[in-house]
Structure 1
Amino acid sequence: MSEPISPNGPVKVAITVDDFLQWKMVPFPTGYSAERVVSSLTSAFADFGITDCYAFFSTGPMEEDPSLREQVEAWCAAGHHVGNHTHNHASPDWVPASAFTADIKLSEDYIGSFIEAAPVKYFRYPMDMWGAEADKVADIHHFLAKENYIPAPVSYWFYDAQFVAPYWRAVESADSDAAAWLVRTYAETAVDQLRRHAAVSREMFGRDPIFISVFHGTAVTSDSVRPMLEALVAAGVEFVSLEEGMRDPLNALPAPMHTRLFRNSTQKWADHLGVSFEGTPPLETLSRMEEVSPREGMSYEDVFGAMRNHAAKEVGGTVAGGEFDWQSAVRPIHD
């Protein structure tokens, strides 16, 4: 057993998965697919006793490939559930409230029956961005309340989306050493970031809350999920359902600030209370990933910048810019 996450005993974590269909403008690497990812996740979850896991994914890829519905069916057949994550994966700060809520409804055209079949009708904001304008947030929450949706926040993440581009580059370059390093680092970063989130939470609230985690259904996740779950268990993590996680007041209550910045709820509380959150994001790790298997046009910003711009355009808006305020500090490190 590795060093425990908390000196107070086991830490409860509700696992959720975002975007296992990936996104428009971000295809799977050669040899990978949504089918492979869903199979890997459901198999690993079964072995680790993770049941009733909620997946939140933008349905835009289903517009281009209706057969992806089969992977949603496979996910639910394995005993898991589906929530709404919009159709195009745009931040509410990029579009009017009416366009954002219309995008939520559009997603129902593709997966509405799965959403309604879940024990709880959850919605997750793309990138966990709830919006910076109080009036717009109120309008969206009015819509969610009318439609019987409960917003499901993220209170712990480890920047797994930043692994997508370097792993894609490593796969396309047949760089097995780089791929192996990324898989190891994925698991190590998951544990390190949970340890930091837990320490900050104890400082702010005097206890270990139930954390609602997220990682994305990507190629790197499909190859890293088992070592990552093993590392979390070894550090004293107990997996629980999202419903149990939502019974913790720190998840049931919205974080006390509106921001356009990329922050989960724990980070928002820390910003609000003026508590330092050292090592989050893990800038040195993210910088090292930028130099993995370099390929023209395939940096993190190349890949996800194009995705975000396309998502905003599809909903009739534009990317506000500056949301990822830490990204400017991520630079390749050459030893």
Structure 2
Amino acid sequence: MTKNTAERPLKIAVTVDDFVLWDGMPMSADATPTTITRSVAQTLNDYGLGGTYGFSHTYRLDQEPEHLAAFDAWVEAGHHVGNHTHEHAPLRWMSDAAFRRDFETAEKHIGHLIEAAPRKYFRYPMDMCSGSEQRRGEVEQYLADNGYTNAPITSWFSDFAFIVPYFRALTLRDSEAQKQVRDMHVATAVEMLHKHADTARALFGADAPLIWLVHGTTIARDTLPAILEAFLEQGVEFVPLDEAMRHPVNYAMPPAVESFSNHLQRFAIAAGLPKPELEYERLGEILHLAPMAGSDTMEVYENEVFKPMAKRLGVAYDWDWS
């Protein structure tokens, strides 16, 4: 009988995306991108996770150059920076020329920090590549020609869904709601780690070191210690990204798809296995926590983040959350 994930050791490489969050996302008055980044970086160091790679887009630096301090704080704490593009737009929204410009604009902002890392890593925004195998192959060749390796995501827990509910709970000063959101954030992180680990085992016949994602958010600032403690209680061993990248679950390329799916989920889709994901009922519960007039979670994403991004790029808004 196969042991469940709570009874066998798992290896994960922690990565952090977008410690400078997307333009249009609300942030509580007690936080800035730099203070959040410093806190998350310190928590990682407290748990012996020095040298963690962070992937943050650079668009907000155009209008708010002061946020470069968040990138500097990350590196000063002993962590590394990768390229996550400038706009953080889905690859399928961009022409080849636009993608190259976007990639190079990010380098202009933070290239000096990327070069300081032991290895140059790139991460697709939302881990999404084009549905065209030819297009994806051309991008991968471009990355390789520029000395980059794609660092995919093989375990996530839809933590983006908690950002607006936690903002509402903090704004309302509702301590009970704040605790509810935090507790669910931690529980969901553990649950989804197990789901991704079991899927990797079903696909590869053995456990694989997973590349885990958390975003640099206010709720991550407040719950990351509890999440890491919960992982340790489950027997998790934290490993460097370079070690995780030596396993085929992380360096092999699953077929490209258009849907909002991470690297491991695409392997599952190709194999005809259920995609490890949060149940819609749980996701709906999270999205509606701490309700507050004028702050609907999905409306914030659609109207404040994605539609303005599409307008900047001059493309029709085309997004499918499924």
Band the TM-score falls in, shorter-chain normalisation = over 0.9
Partner Cα distance (2:148, 2:275) in 1: 31
Matches within 5 A, 1:165-184: 165-184=164-183
Contact kept in structure 1, 2:90 and 2:128, CA below 8 Å:
yes
Please say if residues 162 and 287 of structure 2, whose CA atoms lie closer than 8 Å, have aligned partners that are also in contact: no
* CA deviation string 1:231-290 (max 9, x = no partner): 1111111111111111111101112x1111111111111111111246x22322211123
* In 1: Cα distance, 2:143 partner to 2:310 partner: 21
**1:291 lines up with 2:250 in the alignment:** no
Could you report, residue by residue, the CA deviation over 1:199-234 in whole angstroms, capped at 9, with x for unpaired residues? 122122111100001110011111111111111111
Query: How many residues are aligned here?
Result: 319
| Aligned with 1:282 (options 274, 279, 296) | 279
1:113 aligns to 2:112 (yes or no): yes
Deviation at 1:88, TM superposition (A): 0.8
Q: Distance in 2 between matches of 1:182 and 1:5?
A: 25
Q: Which one of the candidate residues 266, 269, 272 is aligned to 1:268? A: 266
Is 1:11 the counterpart of 2:10? The answer is yes
Does structure 2 conserve the Cα–Cα contact (< 8 Å) formed by 1:21 and 1:34? yes
1:295 Cα shift?
2.3
Percent identity between the two aligned chains: 34
User: In 1, distance between residues paired with 2:316 and 2:57?
Assistant: 18
Shift of 1:35: 2.0
Secondary structure at 1:51 match in 2? coil
Secondary structure at the aligned position of 1:115 is classed as: helix
Q: Is the 8 A contact 1:160 1:216 kept in 2?
A: yes
**Counterpart contact for 1:167–1:182, Cα < 8 Å:** yes
Over the aligned positions, Cα root-mean-square deviation in angstroms equals 1.6
Name the residue aligned to 1:305: 302
Unaligned runs of 5+ in 2: none
The answer as to whether partners of 2:26 and 2:167 remain within 8 angstroms in 1 is: no
Moved over 3 A (4+): none
2:162 matched to 1:158?
no
Once residues 208 and 53 of structure 2 are traced to their aligned partners in structure 1, the CA distance between those partners, rounded to angstroms, is 19
- Assess if the C-alpha contact under 8 Å between 1:128 and 1:154 holds in 2: yes
Distance 1:125 1:295, change over 3 A: same
- What CA distance in whole angstroms lies between the structure 1 residues aligned with 2:114 and 2:278? 32
Partner of residue 257 from structure 2, selected from 245, 256, 259: 259
Post-superposition offset of 1:172? 1.3
Change in Cα spacing, 1:137 to 1:297, as seen in structure 2 (3 Å) is farther
Opposite residue 136 of structure 1, the aligned amino acid is R
Task: State the TM-score, normalizing by the size of structure 2.
Answer: 0.95
Which amino acid in 2 is paired with 1:302?
E
- In structure 1, list runs of 5 or more residues that go unmatched: 326-335
Question: Which runs of structure 2 are paired with 1:1-335 in the superposition (5 Å)?
Answer: 5-7=5-7, 9-255=8-254, 257-277=255-275, 280-306=277-303, 307-322=305-320, 324-325=321-322
